[in-house]
Amino acid sequence: MEKQTLISIYATELPENEMDDNSLNDLFYEGTETEYRLALRAAAEQVSGFLKNNKQPFSGIKPATLLAEFDKISLDKPLSNYKSVFEEVNALYIKHATAFHLPQYIAHLNCPVVIPALAAEVIISAINSSQDTYDQSAGGTFIERRLIDWTGEQLGYNNQCDGVFTGGGSQSNLMGLLLARDYYALTYLGHNIKLDGHPVNANRFRIFVSEKAHFSNQKNASLMGLGEQAIVKVATDERFRMDARKLEQAILNELEQGNIPIAIVATAGTTDFGNIDPLQEIARIAKQFNLWMHVDAAYGCGLLLSEKYRHLLNGIEQADSVTIDYHKSFFQPISSSAFLVKNKLHLNIIKHHADYLNPKEQDYDALPAQINKSITQSTRRFDALKLWFTLRLMGKQKLGRYTDRIIDTTEQAACLIEGSGQFELLSHSDLGVLVFRYLPQHAGEVDPCAMNLHIKQTMFFNGEVLVASTKVNGQFYLKFTILNPLTTIQHIQHILTIIQKHGKDYEQRHQHTPAYS
């Protein structure tokens, strides 16, 4: 075999790009099948290079250094061949991209992805179906519907459920709140918000979330014209889960003030702690006050896969609607998310008929149209195929074992952190998030917030391990988000040693100077 790299073979075989070339050889069609294969193989080679070369989760490059590279580029002057494009993209992006597949990446909610989903991506983008109507997707529509039905079964819904794939959890949460609001107005006020806009007392609508719920709830309330003021934050318990008694009090309190409770958002898997709000009790309270119950299971949906831990989601079947992020907890590439409703009739609230796409006269059973279920997207990617490939090749049980492994590693890590005496751990986790900080060895001499911030920043620009951070009661904490079954307790042990080392360095340098200096 020649000592030529594969990439240069492909690059030389691929046609040069001549600017005044009138040929159509960049279009994807029968006549360019060879170019297509070569370009894809070269792209796959680049990805292999990423796996081989990127040995730590981040290169540590500073934004200013990276930005300077972009200043040299003129988008109006195309490069002459694929090889140059690959080289440029490698320098600008791949070389420094955050590597979620490495076990030392435990920062944010980014899971490693499974290979069947990556194979599906190739098909999705080339065939490029659009999921809005049957005449733009055919089998794609039914694949999506089967996966929605399957997800509904996992939730414990009956065959009255329905739903749609969305771009992400924030969007799915928006759908939940929008349906809750419009359903409330229609049912209890006889007012159709879709047609007539807000009723006069809409500024009194109230939505209950926990203090640790995702910020998309605030954004969505403001987007819906209710304002962030519509969100009532309910205090949490010692594991940062919504306190059901406080929820009841908060509802009564709002009623007393003449406000109008319309919905409760329970979080199944908080972003900061990975804990699950008490779903059964919240369901009971929602029923008692006739409130819509939405469960944000963007993160916690992974438990649906697990035999061992599925019970933690008990009660979710009582929710009126649910957010699922397959790209958080089903090892799927971004984007892959879904919104589900228990009663499919509720989706009629948002239906809109455009004469050119889904005219009213159409017989829906003969010609299904997923666009009827989507609020925020018309043209929509066939993301469902990734999950289809994944389930058909791996099956639910295998994915579930990945999830179990992650949860078990996290619990071991929690014990390690707690047991060492050098850290303060705020809570154990139902899933994979641990919030903790390194404690100064000589209390009172250094500020723990400044020290832990230093630890985080030093690790980020070293790039060797990536962890996240959060603030709890105004205090700075480090955060592990474990979503990779490759991450073992040995990796965690090693990461804790690095944290201790940076902490000790910081202490030595700051011991005799006052805090915040």
Quote the CA–CA distance of 163 and 172 in Å, as a whole number.
10
Segment lying near ligand PLP (by CB under 6 A), choices 17-25, 27-35, 168-176, 236-244:
168-176
Which one-letter DSSP state was computed for residue 17? -
- Does 296 contact ligand PLP by CB under 6 A? yes
User: For the residues of 408-466, what is the DSSP string, one character each?
Assistant: HHHHHHHHHHHHHSSEEE----SSSEEEEEEPPSSTTTS-HHHHHHHHHHHHHHH-SSE
CA-based nearest residue to 487, from 416, 388, 390, 393 = 416
Q: Which is nearer to ligand PLP, 296 or 383 (CB)?
A: 296
Quote the CA–CA distance of 368 and 493 in Å, as a whole number.
53
Quote the CA–CA distance of 137 and 196 in Å, as a whole number.
33
**Is 211 buried (19+), middle (13-18) or exposed (0-12) by CB count in 10 A?**
middle
CA-based nearest residue to 144, from 162, 119, 121 = 162
Query: Which 3 state secondary structure label does DSSP give 351?
Result: coil
CA 107 and chain centroid, separation: 13
Quote the CA–CA distance of 170 and 166 in Å, as a whole number.
9
Which residue's beta carbon is nearest to the bound ligand PLP? 169
Segment lying near ligand PLP (by CB under 6 A), choices 69-77, 79-87, 163-171, 415-423:
163-171
Q: Which of 325, 383, 404, 430 binds ligand PLP (CB under 6 A)?
A: 325
Segment lying near ligand PLP (by CB under 6 A), choices 14-22, 71-79, 263-271, 496-504:
263-271
- Does 170 contact ligand PLP by CB under 6 A? yes
Quote the CA–CA distance of 327 and 485 in Å, as a whole number.
15
- Does 383 contact ligand PLP by CB under 6 A? no
Quote the CA–CA distance of 460 and 455 in Å, as a whole number.
9
- Does 216 contact ligand PLP by CB under 6 A? yes
Q: Which is nearer to ligand PLP, 136 or 170 (CB)?
A: 170
Whole-number minimum distance, CB 131 to ligand PLP, in Å? 18
- Does 336 contact ligand PLP by CB under 6 A? no
Site for ligand PLP in 45-104 (CB under 6 A): none
Q: Which of 86, 134, 240, 299 binds ligand PLP (CB under 6 A)?
A: 299
Segment lying near ligand PLP (by CB under 6 A), choices 111-119, 120-128, 196-204, 267-275:
267-275
Which one-letter DSSP state was computed for residue 152? H
Q: Which is nearer to ligand PLP, 212 or 346 (CB)?
A: 212
Q: Which is nearer to ligand PLP, 54 or 267 (CB)?
A: 267
- Does 322 contact ligand PLP by CB under 6 A? no
Q: Which is nearer to ligand PLP, 152 or 167 (CB)?
A: 167
Site for ligand PLP in 103-162 (CB under 6 A): 109
- Does 275 contact ligand PLP by CB under 6 A? no
CA-based nearest residue to 183, from 320, 37, 27 = 320
- Does 168 contact ligand PLP by CB under 6 A? yes
Element (H, E) at 249: helix 244-256
Q: Which is nearer to ligand PLP, 116 or 168 (CB)?
A: 168
Determine if residue 60 is left, alpha or beta; phi over 0 gives left, psi from -120 to 50 gives alpha, anything else beta.
left
Segment lying near ligand PLP (by CB under 6 A), choices 52-60, 184-192, 292-300, 455-463:
292-300
Whole-number minimum distance, CB 271 to ligand PLP, in Å? 4
Q: Which is nearer to ligand PLP, 56 or 98 (CB)?
A: 98
Quote the CA–CA distance of 369 and 363 in Å, as a whole number.
10
Q: Which is nearer to ligand PLP, 110 or 370 (CB)?
A: 110
Where does this chain bind ligand PLP (CB under 6 A)? Answer: 109, 168-170, 173, 214, 216, 267, 269, 271, 296, 298-299, 325, 328, 337
